[in-house]
Amino acid sequence: MAMITDHILTWVTFVPLLGAVALWLFGRREGPARIFALAVSLVDFVLSLHLWFHFDAARGDDQFVERVAWIGNGQVSYHLGCDGISLVLALLTTFLGPLIILSTWKAITSRVREFLAFFLLLQTAMLGTFLARDMLLFYVFWEAMLIPMYFIIGIWGGQRRIYAAVKFFIFTMVGSVFMLVGILYLFFQSGSMELTSFLNLNLEHNAQLWLFAAFFLAFAIKVPVFPLHTWLPDAHVEAPTAGSVVLAGVLLKMGTYGMLRFAMPLFPQGVAYFAPAVSILAVIGIIYGALVALVQPDIKKLVAYSSVSHLGFVVLGLFSLNSLGVAGGVFQMLAHGLSTGALFLLVGVIYERRHTREISEFGGLAHVMPLYATFFMIATLASIGLPGLAGFVGEFTILLGTFTSEFLPAARVMAILAATGVVLGAFFMLWMVQRVFFGRLANDANKNLPDLSWREVVVLVPLLVFMFVLGVHPGLVLDKVDLSIQKVLAPLEAQLVPHSPAGHAAIPGGGEEGAPAILLVNSDAEDLR
């Protein structure tokens, strides 16, 4: 047992990889391979629960740290660590894993073993990305993740899958190669690939701007931030359901995670310089995503564009640069992972039955599939931010953080604009639900559709449960991440000068004599619990 708990992060990260390798042993037997893969992902989830229960939230730093020299004389090391932010994202990943594998039981019928192997590889790459504390290690996982996802979209996807897969691959590469140059520059400056050694560099202003731009581009493409989002709808629409779920649920978060973990703390002056532009892009993304979603005839595409909108919120929250907004951003990552993941699964359910996703093909589904309609409704409500469900906490906190942000110009205007995005979001989602589920059951093809099977219920219920749990008890997550967020943002503190001259009375110590006080004290966040 000690062997496992001492290297828990390694185990969590690489158990799926081992599973992927072991899948070769199954030959052509698909049934056992499925069960085995499911078991592997469950084991991984159980292992990651160890992290959850042994994580000390009273410390904001990295825990369960593992560090072994890898390249050079320890200049580059195999260094894993887990703070609150990594914890919740890693848990989201391992939590979605078994659900996704279970969801593919009927959907993936060709080359099953290969699919499962690629999926497990993807798990390893994603977990490694969230847990790596060495820049090169991070980059390796970050890029390695492309390979399985590329195959998943390209082999098991829809009509234009190859186009979507290549586009996905190239777009992501475009961003990351420039980040690689940035990493190499930092490596040269500090002589080490350790994240902490990068933090101690005193980079000159100009270098910070360039580096921030290079890093931000890589992450912004991943998120995706408007106008770099064009790969996302293609990838989502063409990917198989499982691919979409993991894409929306986890992969997109790697972008926002990267911003929070690397781009922001490493280059405070870059943040100060670019934050207004970034937040404007985020607001545009929120509204643009909602408007485009409004006119989509295809349910999956609609959900895909809603992701653009929701991730806009996350970015806005992060760049509001106060702990409220950032905490909201992190929370929203989680909430979006649950609700959009569930929505994609639900879209997959109907696609399996009807092989179409056109909204106009449906109508009145609630009559024949009441359970399905209920589940879909809950996921929708969670997605649009109904109080009591997870989405509300994230969006509301982000809006609050933005509204009170001292560093964004016209922060209040932005918050208000973003709030209209919430309204639009509610509108297009509910409108879609109305067209699909209510009204007359006109289309004969829909008259005999079976409702959810027990397997589908098992897949969806955990997601729905957590939407409620996080909605009513957000502290469950916020407690874990609070200190970590403060620690991550600490390097920014000294560098930022508040934008609005007078400061806000609500913010202790803020704004006086230009004294930087970027972090709201906990009291604000605590009000929410």
Partner 1 sequence: MNDLAIPDFGREIAALLPFLIVAGGGLLVMVTDALVKTLRKDHLSYLVLLVLLSVIVVQTTSGTPEGPVLNGLLLLGNFSRFFTYLFVVIGVLTTIFATGIFDRDGNYRPEFYPLLLFAILGMMVLAAANDLLTVYLGLETMSLATYVLAGGVRGNAPSSEAGFKYLMLGGFSSAFFLMGVAFVYGACGGTGFDQIAAALHSGSAPMPFLTLGTGLMLVGFGFKVAMVPFHMWTPDVYDGAPAYVTGFMATAIKAAGFAILLRFVLLTEPMLAFAWYPVLTVLAVLTMSLGNIVALVQGNIKRMLAWSSIAHAGYLLLGIVAILAPALGGPEMMARAKGIVEEGGAALLFYLVGYALMNLAAFGIINVMGTEPGVDGDQISRYAGLSRRQPVAAATLAVAMLSLAGIPPMVGFMAKFYIFSVVVKAGLIPLAIIGVINSLISVYYYLRVIVVMYMHDTAEDSYQGTEWVSVAAAGLLAFLIIYLGVMPEAFHRGAEIVFRQISF
In the complex with partner 1, which residue's Cβ is closer, 14 or 438? 14
List 49, 174, 199, 426, residue binding partner 1 (CB under 8 A): 174
Structure tokens at 106: 């009927």
Give the contacts of 433 (CB within 8 A, at least 6 positions apart).
376, 377, 380
| Under rule CB under 8 A, residue 144 binds partner 1 | yes
The closest of 250, 364, 412, 380 to 303, measured between CA atoms, is 380
Do residues 410 and 279 lie in contact, with contact meaning Cβ atoms separated by under 8 Å? no
Distance of CA 31 to the CA centre of its chain: 31
Structure tokens at 6: 């001492």
Question: How many alpha carbons lie under 13 Å from residue 80 in its C-beta half-sphere?
Answer: 23
| Bridge partners for 134 per DSSP | 194
Q: Which stretch binds partner 1 (CB under 8 A): 177-185, 262-270, 293-301, 398-406?
A: 177-185
Residue ranges in 55-94 that form contacts with partner 1 under rule CB under 8 A: 69-72
| Under rule CB under 8 A, residue 119 binds partner 1 | no
| Under rule CB under 8 A, residue 184 binds partner 1 | yes
Residue ranges in 7-36 that form contacts with partner 1 under rule CB under 8 A: none
Q: Which stretch binds partner 1 (CB under 8 A): 149-157, 196-204, 291-299, 309-317?
A: 149-157
Distance of CA 162 to the CA centre of its chain: 24
| Under rule CB under 8 A, residue 165 binds partner 1 | yes
Q: Which stretch binds partner 1 (CB under 8 A): 168-176, 316-324, 480-488, 504-512?
A: 168-176
Name the phi and psi angles at 64, rounded to 5.
Answer: 55, 30
Burial of 82 (0-12, 13-18, 19+ CB in 10 A): buried
List 169, 231, 262, 375, residue binding partner 1 (CB under 8 A): 169
In the complex with partner 1, which residue's Cβ is closer, 162 or 413? 162
Residue ranges in 92-111 that form contacts with partner 1 under rule CB under 8 A: 111
Place of tokens 């000390």: 56
In the complex with partner 1, which residue's Cβ is closer, 17 or 422? 17
Q: How far is the CB of 105 from partner 1 (least distance, A)?
A: 22
| Under rule CB under 8 A, residue 209 binds partner 1 | no
Q: How far is the CB of 275 from partner 1 (least distance, A)?
A: 25
List 173, 201, 294, 449, residue binding partner 1 (CB under 8 A): 173
Largest distance between two CA atoms of the chain: 71
Give the interface size with partner 1 as a residue count (CB under 8 A): 32
Q: How far is the CB of 238 from partner 1 (least distance, A)?
A: 11
Q: How far is the CB of 303 from partner 1 (least distance, A)?
A: 25
Q: Which stretch binds partner 1 (CB under 8 A): 26-34, 183-191, 234-242, 367-375?
A: 183-191
Alpha helices in 191-267 (DSSP H): 195-199, 205-222, 231-238, 241-246, 252-258, 264-266
Taking the CA atoms of residue 188, residue 194, residue 198 and residue 200 in that order, the dihedral angle to the nearest 10 degrees is -120
Separation of alpha carbons 126 and 38, rounded Å? 17
Give the contacts of 503 (CB within 8 A, at least 6 positions apart).
406, 510, 511, 512
Q: Which stretch binds partner 1 (CB under 8 A): 98-106, 165-173, 243-251, 322-330?
A: 165-173
The residues binding partner 1 (CB under 8 A) are 69-72, 111, 136, 139-140, 143-144, 146-147, 150-151, 154-155, 161-162, 165-166, 169-170, 173-174, 177-178, 180-181, 184-185, 187-188
